[in-house]
Amino acid sequence: MAAPGKDRRLELAKAFGDPAAFRAWYDDAVGRVYGYLYGRCGGDIEVAEEITQQTFMQAIRHWQAFDGRSDSVTWLCSIARHKLADHYREQGRERRRHLQLMVREIEPEVSSPDEAIDDRDAIITALRQLPDIERTALVLRYLDDLSVKEVAALLNRSVDGTDALLRRAKERFRSLYPEAFDD
């Protein structure tokens, strides 16, 4: 059962003030955050590690921003999503500070069909071959279920430009992994 927001904040504060509690929290969170990022950056380990690091650093420095509406790992994944967008977009971080974090519950245990798991490496390989900005747009739109407008805001692009970007990304991804479009 999900803890109320206040309790979640207290739990996080406790974890950040006690070595043993922090160890337990970290061991649970780091794999989930890394796993969240790994596929989204096309299996680029360096990027996944770098953004994992940035995510945790931001979390412990700005933990007061955690409102407890989601569990702390979902909150971390929201930070990671923004960091990933930051990583690939052309513009700096200033405008990002005006964005609202859209917290979506992340399902920690993704139940994937066996055949999908078998295809995972192929999908990640295909994603890796996309230009960074197209890959980011694609995963934000179709993996994180953000609206085109939200993707545009994260990538600091116009809605129309993002829509065009997504079309290009889909076409390129289709050429690399046509199975994703076969019904």
Asked if residues 29 and 73 have their Cβ atoms less than 8 Å apart, the reply is yes
Contact between 60 and other proteins per CB under 8 A:
yes
Q: Which of 39, 77, 44, 47 is nearest to 59 (CA)?
A: 77
Contacts of range 3-6, beta carbons closer than 8 Å, 24 or more positions apart = 3/68, 4/68, 5/67, 5/68, 5/69, 6/68
x/- track of binding to other proteins for residues 13-52 (CB under 8 A):
x--xxxxx-xx--xx--xx--xxx-xxx----x--xx--x
Task: Decide: residue 81, CB within 10 A, 0-12 exposed, 13-18 middle, 19+ buried.
Answer: buried
Judged by CB, which is closer to other proteins: 1, or 46?
Answer: 46
Identified binder of other proteins from the candidate list 9, 63, 148, 159, rule CB under 8 A: 63
Q: Which positions lie near other proteins, rule CB under 8 A?
A: 13, 16-20, 22-23, 26-27, 30-31, 34-36, 38-40, 45, 48-49, 52-54, 56-58, 60-61, 63-64, 93, 106-107, 110, 112, 116-117, 119-120, 123-124, 127, 138-139, 142-143, 145, 170, 173, 177, 179-183
